[in-house]
């Protein structure tokens, strides 16, 4: 799995725009579920944008409309995105199970009411702590802030690393 991003140096990349109701089967297609994560991720979102799994780069940002991550509770959907290096998913709304799975594996997911105003292929910098996207033209798009306890999980790289840190007596920053 891709290491947790260093949010003290906000990741920058390309925006990839998707529509409403992107389901987990598009991110983790059924025929590849028994394959390893490398193979599964190599088919992530290809049925919606054939070039996505081969052209997405670490630091890129997925942007979508409403109900992102609908469908089954496949945690592999979020894992495939993180494995490809996606820095964050910004959407107008998320399916609850996908949202929680993403946070648990350290993939930032932020509600962004203005997601439909973002333009595909625009370069942007994702700022988790500021809950915003800084676009290449200098403008900023605000997202709903992530609660401190969830930001702590994301900074740690997910639930398991966060718990290991807490149980070992180390402190996490929010």
Q: What is the pLDDT of residues 117-160, one digit of tens each?
A: 999 999 999 999 999 999 999 999 999 999 999 999 999 999 98
Q: Secondary structure of the chain in the HEC alphabet?
A: CCCCCCCCCCCEEEEEECCCCCEHHHHCCHHHCCCCHHHHHCCCCCCCCCCHHHHCCCCCEEEECCCECECCCCHHHHHHHHHCCCCEEEECCECHHHHHHHHHCCCCEEECCCHHHCCCCCEEEEECCCCEEEECCCCEEECCCCCHHHHHHHHHCCHHHHHHHHHCCCCCCC
Q: In this structure, what are the phi and psi dihedrals at residue 88, rounded to the nearest 5 degrees?
A: -170, 160
Distance CA 132, CA 19 (A): 20
pLDDT digits (tens, 9 = 90+) for 32-53: 999 999 999 999 999 999 999 9
Instruction: Indicate the pLDDT class of residue 5, thresholds 50, 70 and 90.
Output: low
Question: Would the pLDDT of 8 be above 80?
Answer: no
* Residue 4: per-residue pLDDT: 59
Give the residue from 109, 71, 112 showing the smallest Cα distance to 92.
Answer: 112
Domains along the chain with CATH numbers = 12-169 (3.20.19.10)
Distance CA 32, CA 20 (A): 23
Distance CA 122, CA 9 (A): 19
Distance CA 147, CA 143 (A): 12
């Amino acid at each position: 799995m891709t290491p947790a991003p260093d949010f003290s140096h906000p990741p920058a990349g390309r925006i990839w725009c998707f529509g409403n109701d992107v389901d987990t089967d598009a991110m983790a297609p059924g025929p590849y579920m028994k394959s390893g994560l490398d193979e599964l991720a190599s088919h992530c979102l290809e049925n919606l944008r054939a070039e996505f799994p081969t052209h997405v780069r670490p630091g890129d940002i997925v942007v979508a409309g409403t109900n992102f991550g609908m469908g089954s509770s496949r945690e592999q959907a979020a894992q495939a995105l993180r494995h490809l290096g996606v820095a964050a998913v910004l959407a107008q709304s998320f399916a609850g199970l996908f949202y929680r799975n993403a946070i648990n594996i350290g993939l930032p997911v932020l509600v962004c009411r203005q997601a439909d105003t973002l333009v595909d292929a625009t370069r942007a910098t994702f700022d988790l702590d500021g809950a915003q996207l800084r676009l290449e033209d200098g403008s900023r798009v605000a997202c709903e802030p992530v609660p401190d306890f969830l930001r702590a999980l994301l900074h740690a790289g997910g639930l398991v690393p966060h718990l290991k840190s807490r149980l070992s007596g180390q402190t996490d920053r929010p």
